[in-house]
Copies of this chain bind each other. A is one copy, B any other.
Amino acid sequence: MTGEAVVITDVGPRDGLQNQLKLLSIDERVQLIKAVAAAGVAQVEVGSFVSPKAVPAMAATDQVFAELQGQADYSALSIALIPNMKGYELAKAAGAKTVTMVLYASDGMAQKNASMSMAEAEAVTLDILACAKRDGIAVIATISVAFECPFDGPVDPALVERIAAKFMAAGADQVVLADTIGAAQPQQVRELTARLVQTHGAAQLGCHFHDTRAMGLANVFAAVESGIRRFDSSIAGLGGCPFAPGASGNVATEDITMMLSQMGFATGIDMTKLIAASDLAQQLTGTAPGGRSKPWIQRYLVKTQK
């Protein structure tokens, strides 16, 4: 796989910060996003357009977009997460070029997170997708709890395949399988991703893993073996989901970059600058754990640059 490209989306400024007790200022959020972008990370989930009462950390995401839009470089890589049509309208007004829509592989999670059924969330998301197509905005359809739900238990892979097929057919630019609570095991990931790649090809498929049970990178590797080349991760391992009991941090961007680089993939990421972004995330939040491979990256660089 020498030199083959893999696309990393850093969701730390959204999935990460929304779960921190400490609220960052607009300036701090923008500073973090720019540091991650400066390291060469392909895409950054810069915030979400949700109720500031429900998720105070994501208040004023429109101001984050305004700051980033002053600089053409950032608006191309910035993604906004939107939970519903209102969120879509706000994201569009803020100038988002790509939005992430949230789907559910369980009714329990759909109810708790969005007070809708799975089917209702699909209907809403199809409406948003139609609007986005008209507006020239790219859409990522993220299927949350794609492997296991904290409320309803294990998820039938056939259900995930059905939702993925529906949104591929409807014209989603990407479909992402999210292991929202970090409960998936790699054999399960290997099998489901292999079937999806066989049906749809890998170009538009992505995966989003949490490292709750230490299986984060095992699941990434399993998906890589199936042909998946798009992954979400979070700078300094920031992360979690306030609405999903049992969820801890996303796979750290440092860790996934280290593994994929060692495997010979081209991530486009400058690891020295990635360490700087991770340091900043730890400094700004005070609680980000930092990727577990972080202490070894410098040693690895010294060796590989000999």
Chain A residues near B (Cβ < 8 Å)? 1, 153, 185-188, 190, 211-218, 220-222, 225, 246, 252, 255, 258-259, 262-264, 291-293, 296, 299, 303
Q: Which residues of B contact A217 (CB under 8 A)?
A: 186, 214-215, 217-218
Judging by beta carbons under 8 Å apart, are B296 and A246 in contact?
Answer: yes
Q: Which residues from B are CB-within-8-Å of A291?
A: 214
Kindly provide the distance from the CB of A261 to the nearest chain B CB, expressed in whole angstroms. Answer: 9
Copies of the polypeptide in the assembly: 2
Question: A264–B222 Cα gap in the complex (Å)?
Answer: 16
Would you call A259 and B186 a contact (CB within 8 A)? Answer: yes
Question: Of A188, A214, A246, A303, which is in contact with the most chain B CB atoms at under 10 Å from its CB?
Answer: A214
Quick one: which of A186, A212, A259 has the most chain B CB within 10 A?
Answer: A186
Chain B minimum-CB-distance residue to A154: B303
Q: Are B258 and A213 in contact (CB under 8 A)?
A: yes
Contacting residues, chain B, for A211 (C-beta < 8 A):
214, 292
Contacting pair A263 B186 (CB below 8 A): yes
Choice from B186, B262, B292 contacting A221 with Cβ under 8 Å: B186
Residues on the B chain within 8 Å of A188, using CB: 263
Question: A186's closest neighbor in chain B, by CB?
Answer: B221
- Which residues of B lie under 8 Å from residue A185 when comparing CB positions? 259, 262-263
B186, B214, B220, B255: which contacts A293 (Cβ < 8 A)? B214
